[in-house]
Structure 1
Amino acid sequence: MIEYKKIYRIFLVITLFTVGMNSIDNNYIYAQNKNIYQNELEADNQNKQKNTGTKNKTNDKTNNEKTKQDEKNSNTRQDKINNQNIDAEDGYKKNKSMNEEQDISKQYEVYLKNLFDYRNKAIMDHNEEILKKIYDTDIKFGLWAYEHEMKKMQYLKNWSDKQGVVFDEIDAKVKINKMREREKNLYGIICTVCTKYKYYYENQPDIKNEFQIGTQHYLHVRVEDDRYVITKEWYTDPFADSLNLEHINSKEIKSYILSQGQVQFDLSDRQKKAVDYAHKYCGAATNVDDKIYLINPNYKDFNSDGGDCANFASQIMYESGTFSKNPTWNYENGAATKAWVNAQGFKNYLVYSGRGYYLAKGSYEEVYKEAYKLRPGDIVGYEKNGRITHVSTVTGLDSRGYPLVTCHNTDRLLVPWDLGWSDKKIGFHLIKVNY
């Protein structure tokens, strides 16, 4: 009987845990198990009383002590079962609360997507009036967020005029990472957004090109009159280094870009491996299996240590199978050398090791024609205040042969190589890599 009770208790705990995890009506299960166990205890007590009555009276003292101990054990077992039921009920409530929070997050992901799509359409159409309605400009942080998007809208217009392209679709995918109600109808939200931009060249309207940018957002959204209004927003803006740009001298550049044709090229197996790796693990810009964020878990994310762009560029080169690690360029067990993880160190290593060589360097006006010689696997370095602060890997060309880059910080997938880097203070280092 004792072995049976042990087995029963184990079975009961597993049953209650499974029930709590699957959000079944725990109260009903609790009542059923409690009745079963109480019936078993009553049957046990009856058997003990019968056995006690048939024994010699000289054993009464021993039997009474045994009965008291059995009752004590029974009470202990009952207390354990009650505690297990309480734990199961707590688990059920916690799981129910988590499920409700997940349902709310899913619901608000739809609302946020609609809000971002509405904003993106206003930016694409250069509609300041619609854009302003999305923000509470009576609040300081809401006004700042609105003014930032206005600058972004103007920059995209200037860049598209220079490039000779038309944006005809901007679509966002949203994943809420954390959300809480700060006060009635005001929500604080941390989310990951993957935005897909589609464009075509003015003299090539039937051929569509696209790229993706991944961003991390922290924002406050207030619900008022069935409308969602942004009162605060901060995010890793990929265009931040160009928002002060008033005008791009675009006439000659535009004419040159529009005169280019589509480029045909062959990639080696190792270049293909590099490109495939870059496209798979480009963070919040990834397009793999409809995921919204994916990096290789075998490598440390160095964003908290100053940035992950050189680390990702090094990964792409190494995972291609072309380049072996060495004491200067190395990653192992979460630690990396300067040449592996630092943008300036990575650029210097490429050039001085012979694994790469300069194609051109200078301002955009000085290098944009040479950039057409870049091919997948090559590197673009971005210089600011005399130092390389960012690196990207070329992983494709668009319908006019314009190089497209993929990188971390901010996460980009097949983005035109100069988009977001149009400030006159920024220099470019174009590096061919010897695959």
Structure 2
Amino acid sequence: MVIIIKKMKFIISITCLLVLSLMIVLFNFKPDIVTIFNEDEGSQILEEIFKSRNRALLDEDLNTLNNLYDKSTKYGVWAYEHELKKMKYLHKWANKQGIDFKDIRTKIKINRIKTINEGYSINFTASTEYEYVYENDPDNVNFFRIGTYHVLNTMIKEEGWIITKEWYTDPFADSLNLDEIESKDIKEYILSQQKSDSLQINERRKNAVNYADEFCGAAADEEYEFKYNKKYRNYNPLGGDCANFASQILYEGGNFRKTHKWNYDKSGGSKAWVNAQAFKDYMIYSGRASLISYGSYSKVYKASYKLLPGDFVAYEKKGKVTHISVVTGADSKGYALVNCHNTDRYRVPWDLGWSDKGIKFWLVRVHY
């Protein structure tokens, strides 16, 4: 009797499995199980989104940009409106600069993925490379990279994957008033410049630049794995890591000695080491640096051609320095390029993302 019962249970189990399989095949029945979602699939989704979005930004294609977002929610609308402002800014800046963007490419590194509602929430790092040429020098291609850290929610619709929500630290957040700058004279001046082939810098400056290139995080060459130097605390969650990174560049690369006021040890960095305003003040008042020029963009852009690799730019908002970037080179017209953290930049034109009329610039010579 026991054997018969066991056989009947076995037959019932097999029958249930067969019925379930038949339902899946014939009726597209979906059992209530956890979806298995791997990194490759996530990368494909993001690559599809970024390829379309980068092309839309490049071509000022409002229709394609619009179709990438879910407008039925406020988060989708906000994400779309922000990207639209970014598109307009990039092209206004390009006009001021006298350049044409030729390509925009993004590399993705996924950190975490989880399922939400009918889609996914993806935490990832993006390294975006921009290629550009000057209008009167189309054969010389320049590029820069910007690294950003994203949380993006997406779902599938008939037209493909769309964005329902997105957050990232935007490098163009202070750039919405570029139209306040009279750009005609600026453009003519920039286009008249040439890169100096005779520029000589000492070994300390070269080593500072090498350090800045290796540890600029999500904007660095892929071989460096988009990482900061693990010897130092990442201060981004505490308000920003730009001054900490600039201090590292001068100490690790430029061979500046630590002092009582400018110091980093196991307890962290001193105020002059990690705070942008304090870093700028310390470098100038200590005599380790001196001011090249100060003021609005229209007042300092000509002086920016005096900047050397290893110097730095301080960005002032409402009377306070809020950001530091370090000069790492110049493009084909001799326009200074910078590296920094938060957001991560590699060889980016020094004013890109800092075009609000209220911003003032400190161009600072460092005495190596």
Q: Any conservation in 1 of the 2:146–2:343 contact (CA below 8 Å)?
A: yes
Match of 2:24 in 1: none
More helix per residue: 1
The separation in 1 between residues aligned to 2:41 and 2:75, in whole angstroms, is 25
Asked whether 1:181 is paired with 2:115, we answer yes
**Which position in structure 2 is the counterpart of 1:270?**
204
CA gap of 1:101–1:204, structure 2 versus 1, over 3 A, is farther
Deviation at 1:110, TM superposition (A): 2.3
CA distance in 2, matches of 1:155, 1:227: 27
Once the two structures are superposed, the pairs formed by residues 356-435 of structure 1 within 5 Å of their partners are 356-435=289-368
Counterpart residue number, 2:38: 104
Partner of 1:23: none
Alignment root-mean-square deviation, CA: 1.5
CA contact (8 A) 1:395 1:405 kept: yes
Contact 1:220 1:233 in 2 (8 A): yes
The answer on 1:257 being equivalent to 2:190 is yes
User: For the Cα contact (< 8 Å) 2:216–2:339, is it kept in 1?
Assistant: yes
Task: Give yes or no for contact 1:371–1:403 (8 Å, CA) kept in 2.
Answer: yes
Gaps of 5+ in 2: 1-33
C-alpha separation between the residues in 1 aligned to 2:96 and 2:191?
10
CA distance in 2, matches of 1:102, 1:352: 58
Separation in 1 of the partners of 2:205 and 2:365? 12
Mapped partners of 1:102, 1:282: distance in 2: 34
How do 1:193-212 and structure 2 match up within 5 A?
Answer: 193-212=126-145
Q: Counterpart of 1:32?
A: none
Alignment match, 2:157: 224
Structure 1 segments of 4 or more deviating over 6 A?
Answer: 100-103
Residue by residue over 1:45-79, the C-alpha shift from the partner in whole angstroms, topping out at 9 and shown as x without a partner, is: xxxxxxxxxxxxxxxxxxxxxxxxxxxxxxxxxxx
Shift of 1:245: 4.0
Quote the Cα distance in structure 1 between the aligned partners of 2:36 and 2:179: 43
Q: Is 1:328 the equivalent of 2:261? A: yes
Higher relative contact order (CA 8 A, sep 6+): 2
Q: Distance in 1 between matches of 2:284 and 2:56?
A: 44
Please say if 1:314 is aligned against 2:277. no
Measure, in 2, the Cα distance between the counterparts of 1:102 and 1:197: 35
Could you list the per-position Cα deviations for residues 91-116 of structure 1 after superposition, in whole angstroms to 9, with x for gaps in the alignment?
xxxxxxxxx99971222112202211
Q: Which amino acid letter does the alignment assign opposite residue 162 of structure 1?
A: K
Going from structure 1 to structure 2, the CA distance change for 1:251 and 1:226 (only over 3 Å counts) comes to closer
By how many angstroms is 1:176 displaced? Answer: 1.3
Q: Supply the distance in 2 between the matched residues of 1:166 and 1:408 (Cα, whole angstroms).
A: 26
Candidates 39, 54, 57, aligned match of 1:120: 54
Partner SS for 1:289: helix
TM-score w.r.t. the length of structure 1 is 0.75
Rounded to whole Å, the distance in 2 between the matches of 1:194 and 1:103 is 23
CA 1:203–1:140 in 2, change beyond 3 Å: closer, same or farther? same
* Mean Cα deviation higher: 264-273 or 189-198: 264-273
Q: Which has more radius of gyration?
A: 1
Please state whether the residue corresponding to 2:351 is helix, strand or coil. Answer: coil
Pairing partner for 1:140 from 52, 74, 92 = 74
Shift of residue 226, structure 1, vs aligned partner: 6.3
Instruction: Give the secondary-structure state (helix, strand or coil) at the position aligned to 1:242.
Output: coil
User: What letter is aligned with 1:329?
Assistant: W
Q: How far did residue 139 of structure 1 move?
A: 1.7
Q: After TM superposition, give the deviation of residue 117 of structure 1 in Å.
A: 1.7
Aligned-residue identity in percent: 51
CA distance in structure 2 between the aligned counterparts of 1:108 and 1:143, rounded to whole angstroms: 23
SS in 2 for 1:296: coil
Deviation for aligned residue 1:320? 2.2
Matches within 5 A, 1:60-79: none
Q: Which residue number corresponds to residue 273 of structure 2?
A: 340
- Which structure 1 segments of 5+ residues have no match? 1-99
Which residue of 91, 105, 109 maps to 1:157?
Answer: 91
DSSP-derived class of the 2:243 partner: helix
Deviation at 1:183, TM superposition (A): 1.5
- 1:171 is matched with 105
Distance 2:103 2:164 in 1: 26
Q: Equivalent residue for 1:12?
A: none
Report SS of the residue matched to 1:188: strand
Change (3 A) 1:253 1:101: farther
Judge conservation of contact 1:151–1:244 (CA < 8 Å) in 2.
Answer: no
3-state SS, counterpart of residue 96 of structure 2: helix
Contact 1:177 1:190 in 2 (8 A): yes
**Rounded Cα–Cα distance in structure 1 between residues aligned with 2:239 and 2:287:** 27
Could you tell me whether the CA contact under 8 Å between 1:176 and 1:189 is conserved in 2? yes
SS of equivalent to 2:63 = helix
Aligned equivalents of 1:322 and 1:355: distance in 2? 12
Tell me which amino acid in the other structure corresponds to 1:386: G
Per-residue CA deviations over 1:7-65 (Å, capped at 9, x if unaligned) read xxxxxxxxxxxxxxxxxxxxxxxxxxxxxxxxxxxxxxxxxxxxxxxxxxxxxxxxxxx
Deviation of the 1:322 alpha carbon: 2.9
CA distance in 2, matches of 1:290, 1:340: 24
Change (3 A) 1:180 1:270: same
Does the 8 Å CA contact 1:300/1:334 hold for their aligned counterparts? Answer: no
| 2:205–2:254 CA contact under 8 A, matched in 1 | no
Separation (CA, whole Å) in 2 of partners of 1:327 and 1:123? 48
SS at match of 1:431: strand
Deviation at 1:317, TM superposition (A): 0.3
1:62 alignment counterpart? none
Superposition deviation, residue 247 in structure 1: 4.8
How many residues of Structure 1 are paired with residues of Structure 2 in the alignment?
Answer: 334
| More strand by percentage | 2
